[in-house]
Structure 1
């Protein structure tokens, strides 16, 4: 009887020890599983980045399916120009007389690409990051340089700063540009807070830091036309010189600023777009061609609605890696009234500019080491049935 009680007590102690060890292991496992969560929550709380609510009511998620001619597989049939010799050709402008395309590259070079033999010339290095390009009426190239400001490059390759601040505030990301027939230069400072390297934070923060600006060479005056814009980007003067189009990339739309007529000095909406617009170019045939970096995805729509999601994305990019949201980038043609005419895109593309020369569209991208060329007669946009 005594031995039975001893055996029973030993078994009880063994069970208690097993239970204790199991509890300890459970605690250790739970601790190491919960520790990253607790640390992440603490880091999230301590992170000073403070996104705000985004004006989603100003965005129309435009679905062009069935309403406009489309080519949704733009890479099929496309060719590359200047492959490996142009790094991040963000914008393009055409010199018809010389039959060359000037393009702005991430290594600071403005390069001249021959369309006849695919040769690439290192033309001028701005020492910064050239973005938007436009010719003035003295055959000089006007450059929106993200770091240097608004530049003028003469054909003798002399580079001069036109302006780099307004109202005592330096430009932080000079972006799109065009020149009116009276010589006035219209351009954008996409954000006065963030540089090109961290411009993604401007979107995540959700605050309007952009400005639409003019420079008058006759008076040497730089003037802010519109404040509090959501990453204003490409610029194009209308062919009749009545208004200037500029886009707000984060709001997926273009606006127009009247420079003549009864509405002079006012701003209206020009068009909604299916994604984030970039550079704008008029083709001389009644259409504007607008680069689309990415479509407005459901994921972007969700992030726009909830600041905490944008903060989480910021922390992910800060501590882990930069996420990529680009999808169905391309180029869209709209008429002089802002009505969509043709949409060329591809699930795996992200484009920042497009120009039409003859039967081809030539597209640049901040992401690629080449220019994309597509024969729109051979690979047209068509209406889906």
Structure 2
């Protein structure tokens, strides 16, 4: 057996110097993550529903495979039977879904020149788009006209326009996930753990943009209640959805301590909301959320090309109008599911990762 002897000088330069350099880099890096609120660090089974389908991919079909580049949000136009979705290449695409997923037709409709995320329909046939880079857009005249509605509030430009919902009176409600970080930097906002998000409204009649709530932890999906009295909006970082009452501005928790980090929320017209969960809560996420220095190390690694978002076990949570969990459809083999929309007997899922829309027949593959 060969025996190797190392001089003190060799040991100093091979171990101590790299260690000291690492400490210096850590101290010099300006990223400054914050401790999260106590409620964001609570973990329980209270939000786990009685019905589960832990094999979402089992029996799932892929709509528009290879033709949809990260279809983040999904909006269904009942009159035309078309699905609208925004892709990472800037295209808002229209999808005609047929009985066979393979026969679905994908149309390049309008390119915003940005990153279309949230999609909703206006009162007069317009398509309202929350574009991460451009702001809140109105697409009308069957795609021939694109108008910027608003891209700032109170003198602060939107950095990550995220989701949008439309009231029966035509007022648009939307989120700016972060006024500090843009779409490509979204993981940094999440890991910094500071409230940079806002919930806002835009009145098309007065052309007025109002900030309804500020200091939100990555303000994400937003949905109008069926009685039009309140909004339900999601804060991804703290795993919480809350109600905002339009008259009076009162806020109350709708559901918290979610089994994952919520993205978009959609009402299905039948007494249920569907909350997309891009990633479940893992041991690594628990540690990172608890200890800011781990989040700083993660961001430092990301600056050198390492993937900072370790997502897995994505799915969609179905809840009732009071926020009570009903069913969870998820799968440990997938991540980055950003939208769940129930259309008829099917659940359609958008994604920030895949090149298709996932469709699951809820009658054939129910949660049990």
Pick the TM interval, shorter chain: over 0.9
Match of 2:169 in 1: 182
Tell me how far 1:324 sits from its aligned partner: 3.4
**Structure 2 SS opposite 1:380:** coil
1:169 partnered with 2:151: no
1:126 corresponding residue in structure 2: 112
Q: How far apart are the structure 2 equivalents of 1:357 and 1:227?
A: 33
* CA separation of 1:87 and 1:30: change in aligned 2, threshold 3 A: same
Cα drift, residue 322 of structure 1:
1.5
For 2:76, the equivalent position in structure 1 comes to 94
Counterpart pick for 2:277 among 272, 276, 292: 292
Could you say which residue in structure 2 is the equivalent of 1:349? 334
Q: Report SS of the residue matched to 2:279.
A: strand
Q: How many residues end up aligned between the 2 structures?
A: 358
Partner of 1:331: 316
**d(CA) in 1 for partners of 2:44 and 2:353?**
25
- The one of 231, 235, 250 equivalent to 2:222 is 235
Q: Among residues 198, 211, 215, which one is paired with 2:185 in the alignment?
A: 198
Q: Does 1:36 align with 2:22?
A: no
Counterpart of 1:381 in structure 2 is 367
State the partner residue of 2:56.
74
CA contact 2:40–2:239 (8 Å) conserved in 1: no
The answer for unaligned runs of 5 or more in structure 2 is none
CA deviations over 1:242-263 (Å, ceiling 9, x no partner) = 1111100111110111124xxx
Residue 302 of structure 1: SS of its match in structure 2?
helix
Q: SS of the residue aligned with 2:309?
A: coil
Residue 33 of structure 1 deviates from its aligned partner by 3.0
1:360 aligned onto 2:342: no
Contact 1:214 1:222 in 2 (8 A): yes
Secondary structure, counterpart of 1:321 in structure 2 = coil
In 2, the alpha carbon distance for the partners of 1:323 and 1:348 equals 18
Unaligned 5+ runs, structure 1: 1-20
Give the deviation of 1:65 after TM superposition: 8.5
> In structure 1, how many angstroms separate the alpha carbons of the residues matched to 2:329 and 2:123?
31
* CA distances 1:18-40 after superposition (whole Å, capped 9, x unpaired): xxx9463x531452133322221
- 1:284 counterpart SS class: coil
TM-score, structure 1 normalization: 0.90
Select the structure of larger CA radius of gyration: 1
Give the distance between the partners of 2:47 and 2:113, measured in 1 at CA: 43
Q: Which residue of 2 aligns with 1:305?
A: 290
Q: Is the 8 A contact 1:59 1:252 kept in 2?
A: no
TM-superposed CA distance for 1:319, in Å, is 1.8
Runs of 4+ in structure 1 off by over 4 angstroms are: 64-67
SS at match of 1:161: strand
Whether 1:55 aligns to 2:42 is no
From 193, 206, 210, give the equivalent of 1:219.
Answer: 206
Native 8 Å contact 1:190 1:209 kept in 2: yes
